[in-house]
């Protein structure tokens, strides 16, 4: 293989974002930390609209599949027909609300993550009313500022994880990481706190 071809293979390998999250021997996906999950989300949700859709979804699927192959194939080696079939099967399996795009909760079900962080995306018992939501909001907005600050969010996440697992084994460092990650997800104006309009995202 000449140097130009070798450089091309190396460049293609480096451009596959998902490959870094696979075990080089088993080709299985590694468990992602909260920060790694958000890096994946940010990489593929290029327009920042809260969904992986259209060409973003095509890019994700191509890299997801080609990263599993131990050889240095490029994402472009998937034919258009293969991509259409793959996309159809993938959406049937993971697009829970059938809107034709992947939201952050749907991606959280696909990628292997630390168990505690994954629990934050499981909303099996949605709130029954806006009144119930406001009760919870006021409970954690302890200073009645109309915002949930980072420390208030951390308390909320601690209680949520305690309730979900019925134990208290989440380290302070992990809680801080989860809090920072949730702010990255929902804090649209990047002021370090959540307001009601951001939670409606």
Q: In whole numbers, what is the pLDDT of the chain averaged over residues?
A: 78
Domain of residue 14 covers: 1-113
Band (45; pLDDT cuts 50, 70, 90): very high
Residue 142 and residue 167 in one domain: yes
Residue 90 contacts residue 61 (beta carbons within 8 Å): yes
Q: What percent of the chain has pLDDT over 70?
A: 75
This prediction's pTM: 0.64
Please give the tally of structural domains in the chain. Answer: 2
DSSP assignment of 51-105, as one string? EE-HHHHHHHHHHHHHHTSSS---GGGS-HHHHHHHHHHHHHHH-TT-SSSEEHH
Residue 15 and residue 50 in one domain: yes
Kindly report the CATH number assigned to the domain that includes residue 15. 1.10.238.10
Residue 118 and residue 83 in one domain: no
**pLDDT of 46 higher than 50:** yes
Residue 96 and residue 132 in one domain: no
Residue 101 and residue 187 in one domain: no
User: Among the three residues 113, 129, 147, which one is the final residue of a domain in this structure?
Assistant: 113
For helices 54-67 and 80-94, what crossing angle results, to 10°? 100
Which DSSP symbol is given to 173? H
């Amino acid at each position: 293989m000449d140097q130009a071809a070798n450089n091309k293979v190396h460049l293609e390998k480096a451009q596959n974002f998902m490959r870094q999250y696979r075990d080089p021997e088993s080709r299985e996906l590694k468990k992602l930390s909260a920060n790694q999950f958000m890096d994946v989300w940010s990489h593929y949700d290029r327009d920042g609209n809260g969904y992986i859709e259209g060409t973003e979804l095509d890019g994700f699927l191509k890299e997801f599949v080609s990263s599993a192959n131990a050889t240095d194939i490029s994402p472009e080696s998937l034919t258009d027909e293969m991509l259409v079939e793959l996309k159809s099967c993938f959406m049937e399996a993971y697009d829970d609300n059938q809107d034709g795009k992947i939201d952050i909760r749907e991606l959280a079900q696909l990628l292997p993550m630390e168990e505690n962080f994954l629990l934050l995306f499981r909303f099996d018992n949605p709130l029954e009313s806006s009144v119930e939501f406001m009760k919870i909001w006021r409970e954690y907005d302890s200073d009645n500022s109309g915002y949930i600050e980072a420390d208030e969010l951390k308390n909320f996440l601690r209680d949520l994880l305690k309730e979900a697992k019925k134990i208290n084994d989440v380290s302070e460092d992990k809680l801080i990481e989860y809090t920072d990650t949730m702010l990255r997800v929902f804090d649209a104006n990047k002021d370090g706190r959540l307001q009601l309009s951001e939670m409606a995202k």
